[in-house]
Amino acid sequence: MSLKYKLLASTVAGLLLSANAGAVVLGVDPARAYAAELEDGTTLTDPADTVSFEVGYNFSDGEVRYGRFACTDNLTMAGLTVSTASPDLALGAINGQGTSAVFFSMTAGASPGATADDVITVDATNTLEDGGDVSCEFAIYDQPSQAQAGGANGLVYTTGLQPFIERVPGFVFEFEAGDPDQGVADVEAALGSYMGFTPINDWANFANFRFQEVAGVLKADGTQVTIPDIFGGDTAIIVDGDFSAADNIWLWDNLSANWYWDSFDDDSASFTGVTIPLDAYLQYDVDDVDPIQESEYFATLEADANPGYVVADVGPIRIGEIVRNGTQLQAPLVQLPQGWLSRIAITNTGALARPYSLEVMTETGRTATVSPSTGTVPAGGTVVIDLADIVTFSHNRGTIHLNVAAPDNQIQGLYQIVNPVAGSLSNHVMVRPATN
């Protein structure tokens, strides 16, 4: 892998790139990226994990100096050789094999002698001792003991520490922003409110994520690392969320093939043996029996690493949600003061009776209950609810959240507080979240 000719300073970088089969030119090239998942103690077999650099010093005829090539101590080098294409520079025996730093003599020939733009190439069997990045430097010293020790004493020239190896995650398991991440349960579904999705009744694709290798990240032999390289057959993707209305679910993939569950219940689905790249949505098929519930969905990668790799589980990550397209209304501040009536009125202008549910929220450290929390608004009618009959607040105030299984344009709500003795009252139209 060594160069076979002397290089002019003005062309050294470009020629090194083409002639040295991918060697890292210190201070010129970016670091070579290896998968962070490679286990500690991995020995590289990459033919391009070599290093080249300019000598950086003009020798006098016959001058002897001592070179030191040293990397951070998370890389050890065995079977190391140093070579140069220059006929004017002789390199001596290598001292320090099997460590992170070696030194050797450098002897200049007769005129014209070794010059700063002569190039040395280092080739070794490199072992990654931990998961950190590796930097290396070349330096020239006056004496062999100084080259062995390193540091400032006797230092003639140094490249300074320069990037050689970078440890980069070899895969991603992440939500893919910009793709559809929401399924909408339809209040007007053919079989009843929220018994199907919109725009397609029977199913929805949502909750998207990517499980893919990162381009340009290498395994030990210098080729692209892949998902099957890293992950073994017991790798599983677990999706948590509400599946109580699901008849079937799977991962609908844009890259290869769909991946079916091996188990699922009302709260979770498991997809085991995923050892291929996925660019996937969660597909949810309805059972035509149960109403679809609002829910967020989270995915966890339970990793089974192949020999030679170490991988931690990833997640849970949020990958999507199901929402309902019915009516939501809020009374942000509801009070139950002594001597006052506090009530809400729900009006349904549609042709069908509609079920509703109530939730109460309070400030931190305070409590509230509501019972009964459900009811029905008749078609073309109004329901008035005296809050004192169904709600208790520990501090006589809180928030009422109303859900009605009806199109938004058919339902209105009003919060009213009345003092029957004084004859005073206050009316507040209930707000639609995110619209006021």
Q: How does pLDDT run across 2-31, given as a tens digit for each residue?
A: 222 222 222 333 333 333 345 789 989 999
Segment among 119-123, 155-159, 179-183, 351-355 with least mean pLDDT: 179-183
- Please report the pLDDT score of residue 2 as a whole number: 27
Segment among 45-54, 175-184, 325-334 with least mean pLDDT: 175-184
- Take residue 431 and report the two structure tokens written for it: 């707000």
Tell me the C-alpha distance between 134 and 196, whole Å. Answer: 55
pLDDT digits (tens, 9 = 90+) for 298-346: 999 999 999 999 999 999 999 999 998 888 899 999 988 888 899 999 9
Tell me the C-alpha distance between 248 and 293, whole Å. Answer: 15
Spatial contact of 418 and 425, defined as CB atoms under 8 Å apart: yes
384 in any annotated domain = yes
Torsion over CA: 127, 131, 133, 136 (sign): negative
* The total number of structural domains that make up the chain: 3
Same domain, 51 and 112: yes
Same domain, 30 and 159: yes
249 in any annotated domain = yes
Domain limits for position 316: 171-324
Same domain, 332 and 349: yes
Confidence of residue 293 (pLDDT cuts 50, 70, 90): very high
How far apart, in Å, do the first and last CA atoms of the chain sit? 69
Give Dmax over CA atoms of the chain in angstroms. 115
Smallest Cα–Cα separation from 299: which of 339, 343, 268, 338?
268
CA distances from 395 to 19, 333, 335, 363, 368 (A): 79, 12, 9, 9, 9
**Percent of all residues in the chain with a pLDDT value above 90, rounded to a whole number:** 68
Same domain, 25 and 144: yes
Confidence of residue 121 (pLDDT cuts 50, 70, 90): very high
Same domain, 17 and 110: yes
- Please report the pLDDT score of residue 257 as a whole number: 66
CATH code of 377's domain: 2.60.290.11
259 in any annotated domain = yes
Same domain, 309 and 339: no
Q: How far is CA 356 from the centre of its chain?
A: 39
The secondary structure element, H or E, covering residue 15 is helix 12-19
- Please report the pLDDT score of residue 363 as a whole number: 86
State yes or no: cis peptide before 199, omega within 30 of 0. Answer: yes
Please identify, among 121, 151, 168, the residue that sits at the C-terminal boundary of a domain.
Answer: 168
Same domain, 99 and 54: yes
3 in any annotated domain = no
4 in any annotated domain = no
Same domain, 312 and 235: yes
Average pLDDT of the chain?
Answer: 89
Same domain, 184 and 118: no
DSSP label of 431 = B
Tell me the C-alpha distance between 80 and 97, whole Å. Answer: 7
Confidence of residue 255 (pLDDT cuts 50, 70, 90): low
Q: What average pLDDT does the segment 272-294 reach?
A: 92
435 in any annotated domain = no
The HSE-up count of residue 81 (CA atoms within 13 Å, CB side) is 5
Same domain, 84 and 118: yes
73 in any annotated domain = yes
Same domain, 300 and 360: no
Same domain, 176 and 279: yes
Please identify, among 168, 202, 234, the residue that sits at the C-terminal boundary of a domain.
Answer: 168
pLDDT digits (tens, 9 = 90+) for 400-433: 989 898 888 899 999 999 998 888 889 999 998 8
54 in any annotated domain = yes
Tell me the sheet residues that pair with 66: 105, 141
- Please report the pLDDT score of residue 305 as a whole number: 98
Please identify, among 324, 342, 371, the residue that sits at the C-terminal boundary of a domain.
Answer: 324
- Please report the pLDDT score of residue 12 as a whole number: 31
Q: What average pLDDT does the segment 348-364 reach?
A: 91
pLDDT at 242 over 70: yes
CATH code of 302's domain: 2.60.40
